[in-house]
């Protein structure tokens, strides 16, 4: 099967670019923002030379699915993905926007990543090995990599524009934001969102090991869930039928990409490599499988 050409950049010259992230290009439309999920893929903090066809569509459509599923927990910034309803000045770019963009409300983003962990993996596993804690939270001894925690935990992190986010304690987050009550509210929402989402995923044969959320405040002070939600870029999704605690797990994300980069012994410095066709195709297949299993629907391409 011939794969679509990945969209790795947007050049909407008549729109005001607000921000360019590793994956998303954001445009300021005045009363709202236009978020466009490209097919860029990053690994080890670098955007790679190859894109993954339809990855941006997976990220957008999966986020929209979760925004609808979880709206009863907390409101979100989503307005529409219907390009015909976008402002007139956007219509010229409709072909690039279809299926991979969304119009959202503006907020003042809260400067803390809200991470929920139900399993011991990634930076949490590394910290536990060294200290027996994760983000200041003491955990029982004898836990293993990828093991299920006694109960999900809230482990905030400071946002980093480049490089890795830095794990901090809940107390650090309260001091960072200067608002302990807000952090308590964020912890409650983060854990409730994680609980609802992990139950949904588990019923579909997928373990949601951990995930991160972002929140923002409107001018009226309303707290909204923003950015993306529960995608393979922001979450660890593991196939439940292959789960075996005690080491790394198979996953619905960039596993093939990371494995390839390790195999070619890339030094994780520029110039960044491009990916061979088989790695691109297998990575795309994993993103699509996660989407279809979680939503019960086919991706709109």
Residue 125: CATH number of its domain: 3.30.470.20
pLDDT category of residue 114 using cuts at 50, 70 and 90: very high
Q: Is residue 163 part of a domain?
A: yes
Q: Is residue 207 part of a domain?
A: yes
Q: Is residue 123 part of a domain?
A: yes
Q: What is the pTM of this model?
A: 0.95
pLDDT category of residue 3 using cuts at 50, 70 and 90: confident
Q: Is residue 205 part of a domain?
A: yes
Q: Is residue 124 part of a domain?
A: yes
pLDDT tens digits, 52-97:
999 999 999 999 999 999 999 999 999 999 999 999 999 999 999 9
- If you average pLDDT over residues 186-209, what whole number do you get? 98
- If you average pLDDT over residues 158-170, what whole number do you get? 79
Contact in structure between 151 and 130 (CB atoms under 8 Å)? no
pLDDT category of residue 253 using cuts at 50, 70 and 90: confident
3-state secondary structure (DSSP) of residue 38: coil
Q: Is residue 217 part of a domain?
A: yes
**Mean of the per-residue pLDDT values of the chain:** 95
Which residues are 42's β-sheet partners?
47
What is the count of structural domains for the chain? 1
Q: Is residue 224 part of a domain?
A: yes
- Judge whether residue 164 has pLDDT over 90: no
Dist CA 230 CA 210 (whole Å)? 9
Contact in structure between 71 and 225 (CB atoms under 8 Å)? no
The whole-number pLDDT of residue 165 equals 81
- Judge whether residue 1 has pLDDT over 80: no
The whole-number pLDDT of residue 53 equals 97
Domain hosting residue 198, numbered range: 109-242
pLDDT tens digits, 35-55:
999 999 999 889 999 999 999
- Judge whether residue 34 has pLDDT over 60: yes
Share of residues in the chain with pLDDT > 70 (%): 98
Quick one: CA torsion of 72, 78, 84, 89, rounded to 10 degrees?
160
pLDDT tens digits, 116-151:
999 999 999 999 999 999 999 999 999 999 999 999
- The position carrying tokens 């196939």 is 239
Q: Is residue 192 part of a domain?
A: yes
Span between the terminal Cα atoms of the chain, in Å: 15
Contact in structure between 215 and 186 (CB atoms under 8 Å)? yes
The whole-number pLDDT of residue 254 equals 86
HSE on the CB side for 251, CA within 13 Å?
A: 23
pLDDT category of residue 2 using cuts at 50, 70 and 90: low
Contact in structure between 217 and 107 (CB atoms under 8 Å)? yes
């Amino acid at each position: 099967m011939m794969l679509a050409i990945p969209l790795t950049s947007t050049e909407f010259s008549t729109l005001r670019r607000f921000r360019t992230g590793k994956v998303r290009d954001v445009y300021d439309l005045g009363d709202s923002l236009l978020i466009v999920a490209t097919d860029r893929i990053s690994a080890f903090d670098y955007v790679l030379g190859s894109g993954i066809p339809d990855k941006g569509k997976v990220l957008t459509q999966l986020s929209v699915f979760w925004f609808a599923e979880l709206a009863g927990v907390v409101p979100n910034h989503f307005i529409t993905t219907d390009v015909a309803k976008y402002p007139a000045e956007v219509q010229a770019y409709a072909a690039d926007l279809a299926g991979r963009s969304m119009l959202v409300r503006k907020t003042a983003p809260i400067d803390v990543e809200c991470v929920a962990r139900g399993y011991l993996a990634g930076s949490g596993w590394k910290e536990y090995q060294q200290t027996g804690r994760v983000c200041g939270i003491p955990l029982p001894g004898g836990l293993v990599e990828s093991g299920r925690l006694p109960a999900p935990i809230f482990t905030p992190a400071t946002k980093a524009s480049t490089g890795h986010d830095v794990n901090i304690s809940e107390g650090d987050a309260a001091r960072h934001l200067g608002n302990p009550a807000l952090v308590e509210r964020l912890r409650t929402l983060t854990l409730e969102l994680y609980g609802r989402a992990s139950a949904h995923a588990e019923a579909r044969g997928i373990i949601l090991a951990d995930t991160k959320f972002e929140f923002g405040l409107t001018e009226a002070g309303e707290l909204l869930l923003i950015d993306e939600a529960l995608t393979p870029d922001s979450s660890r999704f593991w196939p439940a039928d292959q789960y075996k605690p005690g080491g790394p797990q198979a996953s619905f994300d960039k596993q093939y990409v990371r494995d390839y980069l390790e195999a070619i012994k890339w030094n994780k410095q520029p110039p960044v490599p491009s990916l061979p066709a088989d790695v691109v195709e297998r990575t795309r297949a994993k993103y699509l499988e996660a989407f279809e299993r979680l939503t019960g629907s086919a991706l709109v391409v």
